[in-house]
Amino acid sequence: MSDTAHDEARRLAEGARDRVRFEEEALDLADQVYSVARHLSGSKEEAEDLVQDTYARAFRSWRSFTPGTNLRAWLMRILTNLNIDRGRRKQRSPDTQPLEEGDYYLYNRLSDALPETNAQEDQVLRRLSQNDAVDALSAVPHDFRDVVVLVDIGDFSYQDAAQILDIPIGTVMSRLHRGRRILKKELADTVVGDGQSGGGE
Amino acid sequence: MILQVDDPCDKCEQMLQPFLDRVLTDEERQAAELHLQSCSYCRARYRFEEKLRMFVRQASVETMDPQLKLKLAALRTPL
């Protein structure tokens, strides 16, 4: 074999090896990617389609990933773009909507509904079930939910979330704060009933 | 009538999220900690928030169908 043919063969072998490594690393993250996808989309089926499309695209365009950077965030960026492409959200984000319960709202509502005057956080928390949390999350409007899911469930930094969603970091922070408050309001309404209509059990 | 513009618990409530996210400045964090030391009302709500976040995170873990995992592996480029 000539030198150039030899180099060429070696380059091909290295390329194949890099690709295999990339694919394996990506697949190792599939559980985490799915978990986030499940909360970004409306149903299990949608989440499964979304994850499949994400991996198909990731495997096709693996060369555009820079080794040593955050692969999980890279995959998540593909996923959120696909999710938006699917037209799941054309609604304008309700940024200016006045509703705003404070950050103590859920605790206050839950502890008010407890008979003891001296309710401990643990007892208050025990009023919530896993389904309550999942349902409340799905009731948060998309723009806010995306950020809450990425940061609070996916454990992405503000910076990562900003890059994944292609929005400024300040927007990540404001949506996150707002989204968490909406989540708590939803939880309170689910568990105690919505406001005036004589809650408590 | 007293206008409570500067209620310390309201202030503390506003610092709850940035406090737990660890994005407060040193001064702000110290102010919050100082208030928390003397205020069981806010302390209980901070502790609750911390636990709530953990709870939501744990409650949200979804396991993937093993079939899906196989489908993803099948998307790999054949060698």
Least confident interval from A10-24, A85-99, A110-124, B29-43: A85-99
CA distance B17 to A163: 21
Across residues B26-52, what is the average pLDDT? 95
- Tell me which residue range forms the domain holding B59: 8-74
Whether chain A has a CB inside 8 Å of the CB on B77: the answer is yes
> How confident is the model over A70-115, as pLDDT tens digits?
999 999 999 999 988 776 554 445 555 556 688 999 998 888 877 7
> How confident is the model over A175-194, as pLDDT tens digits?
999 999 999 999 998 888 76
Who among A55, A102, A137 is closest to B75 (CB)?
A55
Please list the residue range(s) of chain A that carry CATH number 1.10.10.10. 105-192
Q: Do B62 and A183 touch (CB under 8 A)?
A: no
CATH: 3.65.10.10, 1.10.10.10, 1.20.140.10, 1.10.340.70. Which one for A105-192? 1.10.10.10
Amino acid at A166: D
Asked whether residue B79 is domain-assigned, the answer is: no
Check if the beta carbon of residue B17 is closer than 8 Å to that of residue B50: no
pTM: 0.84
Chain B interface, best mutation among A12, A121, A123, by max B CB count within 10 A = A121
Q: Do A107 and B62 touch (CB under 8 A)?
A: no
Q: Do B77 and A177 touch (CB under 8 A)?
A: no
CA distance A19 to A59: 8
Query: Residue-wise over A102-127: b if at least 16 C-beta within 10 A, else e?
Result: ebbbbbebbbebbeeeebebeebbeb
For helices B26-38 and B8-20, give the axis angle rounded to 10 degrees.
120
Q: Do B55 and A133 touch (CB under 8 A)?
A: yes
Whether chain A has a CB inside 8 Å of the CB on B7: the answer is no
Torsion of CA A149, B43, A129, A133, to 10 degrees: -20
Residues of chain B with Cβ-Cβ distance to A19 below 8 Å are 77
Q: Which among A129, A93, A97, A102 is positioned nearest to A185, based on CA atoms?
A: A102
HEC string of chain B? CCCCCCCHHHHHHHHHHHHHCCCCCHHHHHHHHHHHHHCHHHHHHHHHHHHHHHHHHHHCCCCCCHHHHHHHHHCCCCC
Fold of the domain spanning A3-85? Rna Polymerase Sigma Factor; Chain: A (1.10.1740)
Tell me, what DSSP letter sits at residue A81?
H
> How confident is the model over A111-166, as pLDDT tens digits?
887 776 556 777 778 888 888 999 999 999 989 999 999 999 999 999 999 999 99
The structural domain count of chain B equals 1
Residues of chain B with Cβ-Cβ distance to A27 below 8 Å are 69, 72-73, 76
